[in-house]
Structure 1
Amino acid sequence: MSARVLVLGGGGFLGYHAVTEALAAGHEVSVFSRSGRAPVEGVEVVTGDREGDLSALRGREWDAVFDTYNDRADGAPAIRATARLLSGSVGAYGYVSGMSVYAPMGPAVPDETGPVRARGVEPDTDRLQLRSLAKLAGEAAVTEEFDGVALFPRVGIMVGPRSTRMSYWPVRFASALAGETPRRVVLPGDPERPVQYSDARDIAAWCWRMLVDGRGGTYNTVGPCRPDPLRQVLLACLEAAGGGPDDVELVTARDEDALRAQLASVDEEERPLWYPEDQIPQVAIDSAKAAAAGLVFRSARETAADILRWAEEAGERPLLDRFVGQERLILERLAGRG
């Protein structure tokens, strides 16, 4: 069913995929942005400012809106103003929240009923505290101001074309197969530990189906809704690069404490997935509710192949040149232990 949809911010990573997935579903797409530029052809651009001038939205009607507003600590008033303005003129409102809202002292694998963070409980020095409170404030703003269906997808690590951190792996393997970098590659941590990640395109497509169908609620949308071991994901990235298990040597670095110490000067956002990530306190996230509502994720190989194609077309070597030296130091340390 074709619908008129609005994306609030279509230039970022998830916003871009929200636009392209809406177009792929046959929807008529408008994008609200300060730049006045369309992220892709075939969309209407509505120019304005989330934190100032919303007048271009006034008097317009859409069937659904997808809000990718950031997690700034002072961002709730902008979300509240937009939700209030669009109430009554939009059928369903989707606001993108995050898995970090769950209290770190709660269940190791929380579902949507799990306890969430609260001001004064976790310290502000916790890297996720302020941004998580901002996401919760955004959820509250939409709930309180928007008179209609509200959907809150709580996302986790998002990957796909135009991303960076997972891009390391298919690009790294492709460069190894081409003889540009060593064929000895570090596998960080227990190779059998399950890892979670979500292709942003799958999240965006599912959100549009939910919104256009008038279905709301709070859902964990952390993939892949199947037990993907780390080794299996990395081998899928290798296959996407045109190689097989015998073409590279995966050297397992099981001691995550040692990895963490060696990478202390490297920000987590500058490390490839799935090196030690202290900002994720939960063991995993339970997304069974979203899966029951139709959320499915494509294979790791398909995601990796699309990432590699994008990286090659864009001339990107995300993280590769910066991190391959760190990988060499890790291998040297492991050899010294042997």
Structure 2
Amino acid sequence: MRLLVLGGGGFLGFHAVAAALAAGAEVSVLSRSGRTPHDGVEVLRGDRTGDLGVLRGREWDAVLDTFTDTGPGAPAVRATAELLSGSVGVYGYVSGMSVYAPEGPDVPDERAPVRAAGVQPDDDPLQERSLAKLAAERAVREGFDGPALFPRVGIMVGPRDPSHRFTYWPLRLSRALTGERPRTVLAPGDPDRPVQYSDARDVAGWIVAALAAGRGGVLNTVGPGRAEPLREVLAACLRAAGGAPGDVGFTWVGEDLLRARLADVEEESRPLWYPEDQIPQSAVDSSAALAAGLVFRPAEDTARDTLRWARADAAGEGLDTPEAARREQALLAEWARVAGGRRER
């Protein structure tokens, strides 16, 4: 397969390029800087919001578009889709599970109603981003004459994850085991609360395979239901850090307190993911993608690889900061005063 990746240096795009190369594909990457972190890749210098001339007259079997969902998103996606129409076999655009209407089913599948302007309130934290994603999906459908794949992804984690959601945990627990941080660890809310997330490498590998097969359509490309309680995910992170049950003590702090004290912290800076009010569904139904070959590795494997990356990369190391440490201790102290705490080993 000859694959063009629009945005191959970040998170999902990076792993998509790696998966394509591992599968023997010829990969081209459009980059504003003219650089890529991968060897063996053709780098095409261009700008999604400006000059796309470097793409004219070229042909690929597939394109993967990971362009941002805000700002000039939909117009830029439309321009690329129209330019590549007729010269690319299948167009993949990475959308998101947030597009589903919060008043729809508790576990939406691909047929569930999506958000609409003027229906959900403008102050809904997901509204602007979701409408931009839906506009970009429409832009591809209208501008590209060929099959289009729309993987609607959820919370993605793993090596190179720029958020604190998952990386914080193996890093925090590793530092507890080495004595760099206290062994009493704040954990959010209910230990039995199920969580849904995806290793970005699994998502990327599946998308690349789907594009190679010429697959089109909308598919929820998210972790397989909410089968994993938060307790088990953190236990997997502890094992990945080299620990065993009892090596650290988890204090489960109520979400009401966390919600009040973390109002000034962006959602992506809240580890696994407290409070997660802005996720309106209980889970997302990914059975169609699972039937089409999507699989996910165990949480411990994700945590081990994420910790290895975080230790080696300054961006990863920065996801457990002195400010996070101070905030954690303050929250633990307040929880001990107001509720007596709840310790879980």
Bin for the TM-score computed over the shorter chain? over 0.9
| CA offset digits 1:116-154 (Å, max 9, x no partner) | 000111122212111111100111111111111110000
Give the TM-score normalised by the residue count of structure 2.
0.94
Which one is further off, 311-320 or 70-79? 311-320
- Normalised to the residue count of structure 1, the TM-score between the two structures is 0.96
Number of matched pairs: 335
Correspondence for 2:7 among 6, 9, 21: 9
DSSP-derived class of the 1:139 partner:
helix
Alignment match, 1:144: 142
Q: CA deviation at 1:87?
A: 1.0
| Aligned counterparts, 1:104-253, within 5 A | 104-163=102-161, 164-165=163-164, 166-225=166-225, 227-253=227-253
Distance, in Å, in 1 between the alignment partners of 2:213 and 2:305 is 29
**What secondary structure, in the 3-state scheme, does the structure 1 residue paired with 2:228 have?**
coil
Name the structure 2 match of 1:328: 329
The alignment status of 1:54 with 2:52, answered yes or no, reads yes
The separation in 1 between residues aligned to 2:37 and 2:224, in whole angstroms, is: 27
Amino acid at match of 1:269: E
- Amino acid of the structure 2 residue aligned with 1:319: L
Per-residue Cα deviation, 1:214-273 (whole angstroms, up to 9, x for no partner): 1111011111446011000000000000001110011122x2112101212222222111
Aligned sequence identity (%): 66
Match of 1:286 in 2: 285
- Is 1:108–1:284's contact at 8 Å kept on the other side of the alignment? yes
Q: SS state of the match for residue 320, structure 1?
A: coil
Contact 1:260–1:276 (CA<8 Å) still a contact in 2?
A: yes
Among candidates 74, 77, 81, match of residue 76 of structure 1: 74
Q: Which amino acid aligns with 1:46?
A: L
Distance in 2 between the 1:74 and 1:40 partners?
27
Q: What amino acid is the match of 1:116?
A: V
Q: For 2:84, which of 58, 83, 86 is the aligned residue?
A: 86
> What is the deviation of 1:73?
4.3
Within 1, Cα distance between the matches of 2:324 and 2:22? Answer: 35
Tell me the CA shift for residue 102 of structure 1: 0.6
Specify the code of the residue in structure 2 equivalent to 1:301.
E
Deviation >4 Å, runs of 4+: none
State the alpha-carbon separation in 2 of the partners of residues 53 and 259 from structure 1.
Answer: 46
Name which of 63, 71, 95 aligns with 1:97. 95
Contact 1:73 1:131 in 2 (8 A): no
5+ residue gaps, structure 1, are none
- Aligned-pair distance for 1:83? 0.6
Distance in 2 of aligned mates of 1:12 and 1:317: 17
By how many angstroms is 1:274 displaced? 2.4
Q: 1:225, 1:296 within 8 Å by CA — same for their partners in 2?
A: no
Residue identity in the other structure for 2:185:
V
> In structure 2, how many angstroms separate the alpha carbons of the residues matched to 1:334 and 1:161?
32
Equivalent residues of 1:272, 1:319 under 8 A apart: no
Q: Post-superposition shift, 1:281?
A: 1.3
Q: In 1, Cα distance between the equivalents of 2:224 and 2:242?
A: 23
| CA offsets 1:90-118 (integer angstroms, 9 cap, x no match) | 11110000011011111111111111000
Which consecutive residues of structure 2, in runs of 5 or more, have no partner in the other structure? Answer: 341-345
